Amino acid sequence: MASQDASNRSHATFDLFIQAPSCEEVMQHFADLCRQLDIDPKDFRNFYTQLKEKLNYWKAKALWSKLDKRASHADYQQGKACTKNKCLVLGAGPCGLRVAIELALLGAQVVVLEKRESFSRNNVLHLWPYTICDLRGLGAKKFYGKFCSGSLDHISIRQLQLILLKVSLLLGVEVNTGVEFQGLIEPSGENGSWMAKLQPRSHPASAFQFDVFISAGGGRFVPDGFKHKELRGKLAIGITANFVNGNTAAEAQVAEISGVARIYNQKFFQELLTETGIDLENIVYYKDDTHYFVMTAKKKSLLKKGVIKQDYSDAEQLLAPENVDHEALCHYAHDAAHFSTGGKLSDLEFAQNHANQPDVAMFDFTCMHRAENASLVRERRGRKLLMGLVGDCLVEPFWPLGTGIARGFMAAFDTAWMVRSWGMGVPHFKVLAERESIYQLLSQTTPENTSKNYAAYSINPKTRYQSVNLSSIQPHQVQNLYDGDKSH
């Protein structure tokens, strides 16, 4: 009877873990589950197998079959391709977690560091068809029943992080929240290896020694050694706004706007301008946990409506917090949302952001960043470290086009492919040359020019890019991506 009770308890905890709506609760229920089943989450190599054996629960089995299917792909060599590798992943954003999952499937030990304690971004991400297929394959619907039902092709950043966090934990990834990465520590002494300087300093993860470092720190986070290029375009001011979704029948009726650009709908934008004084280049509206709007606004109308106080030619000065009237920004975003949904969202009330403020923000897309390279190798005292970038810190996306996750996941797969080669002993210049050859294609990828056989997508670039030449860059061309303290 006692054991029946114990198993009922673990089933209930598993349900709580699957449905947990916040990062903190995911971590809590996961820890409870491990304790109740007496499984050590640090035993990453056996964790998933033990969990499957000990949690004899029909609801879990449907998820195991999805994860088993993914794990059985030949690329992972039955989880043995990278058994010797230890990987540190910086950032538990969607791309950091997505790459962590692939590295775990390759058999590596994976530790993720995330400086935040919670996932708070309501903003909604557009998903290309392949990412929907990919996430379904990881059991997204089991964690989030509403995931891309019908023709929906988007998800809030927060929900996506929650799904990927749960999958990561189940596959034995160690995820540490509330820990900030502050830099690499070079190997010292005879047997020393690469380690990380963390805040808090005494965090147990500061003792982790690794040979692969993946940065998925987002936005403009550039780890030491990498260079960013600035791509300066014409002034582009993005506004995001989230409103409370009461999930009423009336709200459900309101049609989404999956991208109305000025060139396609002059009449709509002209009417918006005439009636409200709001002048936009484009607008997107998605319904998710919130009613989410993203729009690109014209400077002149922002000045006229008092959102921007003073005109400056420099975009940074123009959008500096002290030059923005937050209340006027709220009105601007509210009125644009009201008009574009034909007034059908009657009580538009702002959702709150992480700081308990109305969730509206203005961002500058005038200057986009892109890393010059996707990979580096450092060597100190005979210890090599493979470094890679994924997600926004590799290529910054333009949100209204929704390229963040699509290109971010592509880079996560490409990076996992690189680590696979590293783990299989391919010489480092060859690893770097291949990674850079693939990186050349990333910024040009669109849903049209990538393979339509989504079910066949794997970490192997040939399954995704229609024509990829893995040796378009040769090892002798990437000598600058090796930084060693001795001749090689």
Q: Is 436 helix (H, G, I), strand (E, B) or coil?
A: helix
Task: Give 162's strand partners.
Answer: none
For ligand FAD, the closer CB: 39 or 101: 101
Phi, psi dihedrals of residue 136, rounded to the nearest 5°? -60, -40
Taking the complex as a whole, the smallest distance from the CB of residue 5 to ligand FAD amounts, in Å, to 38
Smaller CB separation from ligand FAD, 96 or 172: 96
Distance CA 184, CA 376 (A): 14
The set of residues, in sequence order, having a beta carbon less than 8 Å from that of 106 and lying 6+ positions away, is 75, 76, 77, 79, 81, 82, 85, 416, 419, 420, 423
Q: Which is nearer to ligand FAD, 115 or 136 (CB)?
A: 115
Listed residue (273, 260, 400) closest to 336, CA to CA:
273
Q: Are 179 and 205 in contact (CB under 8 A)?
A: yes
Q: Where are the beta strands (DSSP E) in 144-255?
A: 154-156, 174-177, 180-185, 195-199, 212-215, 228-232, 237-244
CB of 181 vs ligand FAD, minimal distance in Å: 4
Q: How far is the CB of 329 from ligand FAD (least distance, A)?
A: 15
Taken as a whole, the chain contains a residue count of 488
Shortest Å distance, C-beta 369 to ligand FAD: 12
Q: Which is nearer to ligand FAD, 106 or 184 (CB)?
A: 184
The minimum distance between CB 139 and ligand FAD, in angstroms, equals 20
Residue 422 C-beta: closest distance to ligand FAD, Å: 21
Q: Minimum distance from CB of 284 to ligand FAD (Å)? A: 9
What is the SS3 assignment for 121?
coil
Q: Which residue has the tokens 């229609």?
A: 466
Residue with Cβ nearer ligand FAD (367 or 470) = 367
CB of 126 to ligand FAD, least distance (A): 6
> Can you tell me whether residue 295 is helix, strand or coil?
strand
d(CA 321, CA 311): 14
| Residue 134 beta carbon to ligand FAD: minimum distance, rounded to whole angstroms | 14
CA 344 from chain centre, in angstroms, equals 32
Residue 92 or 237 with smaller CB distance to ligand FAD: 92
81 or 459: CB nearest ligand FAD: 459
Of the pair 39, 405, the CB lying nearest ligand FAD is at 405
Binding site residues, ligand FAD, CB under 6 A: 90-96, 113-116, 121, 123, 125, 157, 180-181, 216-219, 221, 240, 294, 391-392, 397, 399, 402, 404, 408
Q: Which is nearer to ligand FAD, 33 or 165 (CB)?
A: 165
Cis peptide before 200 (omega within 30 of 0): yes
Q: Is 15 exposed, middle or buried (0-12, 13-18, 19+ CB in 10 A)?
A: middle
Q: Rounded to the nearest whole angstrom, what is the least distance from the CB of residue 57 to ligand FAD in the complex?
A: 31
Q: How far is the CB of 404 from ligand FAD (least distance, A)?
A: 3
Q: Residue 82: CA atoms inside 13 Å, Cβ hemisphere, count?
A: 28
**Nearest alpha carbon to residue 339 among 439, 388, 270, 397:** 270
The C-alpha atoms of residue 338 and residue 284 are separated, in whole angstroms, by 13
- Torsion angle in degrees (nearest 10) through CA of 94, 95, 97, 103: 160
Sheet strands side by side (includes 174-177): 174-177, 109-114, 86-90, 212-215, 383-389, 375-380, 482-484
Show the CA angle centred on residue 146, arms to residues 143 and 149, nearest 5°. Answer: 125
Nearer to ligand FAD, 79 or 96 (CB): 96
Name the residue nearer to ligand FAD (CB basis): 55 or 164.
164
CB of 183 to ligand FAD, least distance (A): 9
Indicate the residue among 13 and 156 with the shorter CB distance to ligand FAD: 156
Calculate the alpha carbon distances from 255 to 279, 287, 291, 476 in Å: 21, 9, 11, 54
Q: Taking Cα atoms as reference points, which of 139, 333, 120, 345 lies closest to residue 239? A: 333
